[in-house]
């Protein structure tokens, strides 16, 4: 987090930089890069993301997603057993 409590462009730079490494390790191409936070993004992060086709999901959108797609403890337990 930056000095104002915002997620800065470093998070975007890290995911962009890691893309090729993970693609090689997983022998697949990642078409979508997403940075998710329960906070907010700085203007620099938004600019960096826009320039690199990275989707940002901040507190407001994350809250909406959590409310729209409820996950129960049972869902998590069942998923854990399958893995």
According to DSSP, residue 57 is labeled E
53 neighbors 12 (Cβ within 8 angstroms): no
Q: Which helix (H) or strand (E) covers residue 6, if one does? A: strand 6-7
Instruction: Summarize pLDDT for 22-36 with one digit per residue, the tens.
Output: 999 999 998 899 999
pTM of this prediction? 0.78
Backbone angles phi, psi at 57, to 5 degrees: -120, 110
* Cα(28)–Cα(19) distance, integer angstroms: 10
Instruction: Summarize pLDDT for 18-73 with one digit per residue, the tens.
Output: 999 999 999 999 889 999 999 999 999 999 999 999 999 999 999 999 889 888 88
């Amino acid at each position: 987090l930056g000095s104002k409590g915002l997620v800065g462009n470093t998070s975007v730079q890290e995911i962009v930089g890691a893309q090729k490494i993970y693609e090689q390790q997983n022998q697949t191409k990642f078409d979508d890069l997403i940075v998710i936070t329960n906070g907010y993004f700085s203007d620099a992060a938004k600019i960096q993301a826009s320039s690199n086709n990275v989707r940002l999901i901040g507190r407001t959108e994350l809250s909406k997603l959590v409310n729209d797609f409820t996950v129960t403890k049972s869902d998590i337990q069942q998923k854990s057993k399958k893995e």
